[in-house]
Amino acid sequence: MHCISFTKMLKGRTKDTRLCIIFVVSVDGLLEEIIEMIIRGISDVAIYITRDNETLDDLAVTHQGRMCDVDSSCLVAIDSGLVSTAITMTHDLGHLFGMIHDENTPCGISRNIMSTQRYTGSMGLHWSTCSSLALDKFLRSSRASCLNDFPLQIMPGRQKIYDRDQQCRFAHHDTSCTFNLPNKWCMKGKCIPYTGQCKTSSHWSAWGAWSDCSRPCGGGITHRRRTCRNK
């Protein structure tokens, strides 16, 4: 089962919604399940991120030129790491806006977002001229009508940046241990006094070995660890 929770704004009030995909047998089925379970008329496009590598043969799947279509305005992307997933979603949002791969346009082979191959470097973060023209054409058409409305109000938290401490307080109030024990935090499963971060680098252990890559092909993540020995 895949589940996501999100908050929607409707007529000035928020509504907490939980979206669960119980079982699908194909990529098309996954898209259809998401469409069926999302409240219509709230979002312009729904993006579903999954770690299920077996259902999707590609990094993402969507419908061509179906932005604002209430039956098809969604995409599914595999979580392949922060930057890689963001680029994948941008590429498939381009498809929703009616863009096709650069190799199939007069622009020819490119190193831009809508290329069939992913390239590193600044060019891979920009639209080609053909993609820009396709987007402009779409936005000037009646198919982009859902993008012309104005939100009722600014959603809570917009234009603000919350550090890790504040994010934890949203869920656990003053402490991650319990609501009535200030200045404590959870460390290795125990609630202990908070003494601050490591004071000097000499208290850090040596770095461990690099882990295996999170994906066998394409963009992935590898990591290594060290521990804080500050008492």
DSSP code string of 99-125: ---GGGSTT-S-SSTTSSS---SGGGG
> What is the CB neighbour count within 10 angstroms for residue 32?
15
List pLDDT tens digits, range 136-152.
999 999 888 888 877 65
Q: Is residue 188 domain-shared with residue 216, that is, in the same domain? A: no
DSSP state of 197: S
Q: Does any domain span residue 33?
A: yes
Residue 62 lies in a domain: yes
Residue 130 confidence (pLDDT): 92
Would residue 47 count as lying in a domain?
yes
- Copy the structure tokens of residue 44: 């312009």
Question: Does the pLDDT value for residue 115 go beyond 50?
Answer: yes
By the 8 A CB rule, do 2 and 49 touch? no
In a domain, 157, yes or no: no
pLDDT per residue as tens digits for the range 45-56: 778 787 766 555
Are 190 and 227 in a shared domain?
Answer: no
Whether residues 65 and 136 share a domain: the answer is yes
Same domain, 171 and 215: no
User: Over the stretch 61-106, which tens digit does the pLDDT of each residue have?
Assistant: 777 778 887 777 778 887 777 778 888 888 889 988 989 888 888 8
Check whether residue 24 and residue 42 sit in a common domain. yes
pLDDT of residue 116: 83
Same domain for 126 and 174?
no
Residues 209 and 189 in one domain: no
Specify whether 90 is located in the same domain as 182. no
230 and 171 inside one domain: no
In a domain, 156, yes or no: no
Q: Are residues 185 and 98 in the same domain?
A: no
**What amino acid occupies position 142?**
S
* Kind of pairing between the strands at 74-78 and 2-10: unpaired
The mean per-residue pLDDT over the stretch 189-206 comes to: 66
Whether residues 117 and 11 fall in one domain: yes
How many domains does the chain fold into?
3
126 in a known ligand binding site: no
Domain presence at residue 159: no
Average pLDDT of 181-200? 66
Helix, strand, or coil (residue 94): helix
Residue 137 has a pLDDT of 92
Residue 175: its pLDDT value, please? 56
Residue environment code for 169-203, b if the CB has 16+ CB neighbours within 10 A, otherwise e: eeeeeebbbeeeeeebbeeeeeeeeeeeeeeeeee
Strand blocks (E) in 1-159: 2-10, 13-21, 46-50, 60-62, 74-78
Q: Is 63 annotated as a binding residue?
A: no
In the structure, what pLDDT confidence band is assigned to residue 154 with cuts at 50, 70 and 90? low
Query: The CATH number of the domain where 26 resides is what?
Result: 3.40.390.10
Give a yes or no: residue 158 inside a domain: no
55 part of a folded domain: yes
Say if residue 107 is in the same domain as residue 43.
yes
91 is in an annotated binding site: yes
Q: What's the domain range around 215?
A: 204-231
> CA-CA distance, 111 to 117, in Å (whole number)?
8
